[in-house]
Chains A and B, each alone.
Chain A
Amino acid sequence: GENVEQHPSTLSVQEGDSAVIKCTYSDSASNYFPWYKQELGKRPQLIIDIRSNVGEKKDQRIAVTLNKTAKHFSLHITETQPEDSAVYFCAVDTGTASKLTFGTGTRLQVTL
């Protein structure tokens, strides 16, 4: 089955700095790559996604880049703010019933 590795597991940045989280996957047939943000005690929320026919997608301060050849994709958050502090999960579709395989999560802390 699909294997998704996510790094780093924790990330601490100062407010205003950029943060980058990277995920690698194993199945070259995967074609959908979402990112979720989960605040403490809350549900995961979809914040951005990308499909395999696109190399980069941006939404205000967040962007996702995809390298299908290398089988990795990354989340970029610019001008970080304290409210960006959360756990971020990457995911990859498995091609069956739109099931997603999730990464292990990255705890991002934005300090003042």
Chain B
Amino acid sequence: SQTIHQWPATLVQPVGSPLSLECTVEGTSNPNLYWYRQAAGRGLQLLFYSVGIGQISSEVPQNLSASRPQDRQFILSSKKLLLSDSGFYLCAWGTYEQYFGPGTRLTVT
């Protein structure tokens, strides 16, 4: 069966610091991968998606970037965090049906 992992689970970072969140999927090959952000009490905003290694599409212009160095690995990064980057970051995989990872709760102070 397929499993999706995200780490870390929680993170507190100061403004201006870098960020790296990792997502890995097991039990499937060549999945579509997605990064979402959810602000407190809000909906799901798609940030990036990838249909293959090295292929990244951005949905929202911002100070975040994504990379897919391996088939089942998806990384979300930032060089300098802003207060507005705080939120619940969710990785998802799938084709049609999307399945979410456990998420990373990021607080930028």
Q: Which residues of A contact B (CB under 8 A)?
A: 32, 34, 43-46, 49, 89, 93, 97-105
Contact = CB atoms under 8 A, between A and B. Distances in A.
Contacts of B59: 99
A43 to B, nearest CB: 4
Contact of B100 (A45, A49, A97): A45
B96 A98 contact: yes
A43 B95 CA distance: 18
A-side interface mostly? strand
Contacts, number: 43
Nearest to B34: A99
A105 B79 CA distance: 31
Interface residues of B, number: 21
A98 B103 CA distance: 20
A46 B44 contact: no
Contact of B43 (A32, A34, A46, A102): A102
A75 to B, nearest CB: 16
A98 B46 contact: no
B74 interface: no
Interface string B83-97: 000000010001111
Contact of A98 (B43, B57, B90, B95): B95
A101 B102 CA distance: 20
